[in-house]
Amino acid sequence: MLLQLQSLFMGEKERLPIEATLNFSEVEWNGEKPFQQPLSVVGCVEQSAGVVTLRADVRYRYDGTCDRCTGEVHHDRVLHMEHILVVSLNHEDNDSFVLIENYQLPLDELVEEDLLLDQPSKILCKEDCRGLCPQCGKDLNQGPCDCRQETTDPRLAVLKQLLE
């Protein structure tokens, strides 16, 4: 989706509302395609005192796999976006501003970038996920397994033999 922003930069308008539905079903993250349902983007681009700012909320559902127990993960999330838009830079830090060309903003690209940067390094089904037993592979969220709990680090087994 391409937003035409020339009227904001020229001072002809003060506000451009945004209400869009974007499809990121082909976007990959950590070897999965977690954004199978359409994303909703609601917000606006505003011009105030010569500064053009994009503010929007992205509502989406993350469908993937838990990094600890390999169970299914379904999280409804909201991403709050805020960017200052510029048409040229004069030695400013490029991370602080979004540079647009020909007064056009490709909303899809900006939302995708922010969406991927917002993802946590570990995706969990719940905060207190117990994971899998390292010996038998049982999902410990469903209860304890019957494995003997070894408290000694296997790398220290040689030292344990010396004590015996």
Q: Each residue of 105-133: pLDDT tens digit?
A: 899 999 999 999 988 888 898 889 999 98
Q: Tell me what pLDDT residue 150 has.
A: 62
pTM (two decimals): 0.76
> For the chain, what percent of residues have pLDDT higher than 90?
39
Count how many Cα atoms sit within 13 Å of the Cα of residue 68 in the half-sphere of its side chain: 15
* The two three-digit tokens of residue 107, written as one number: 């909303």
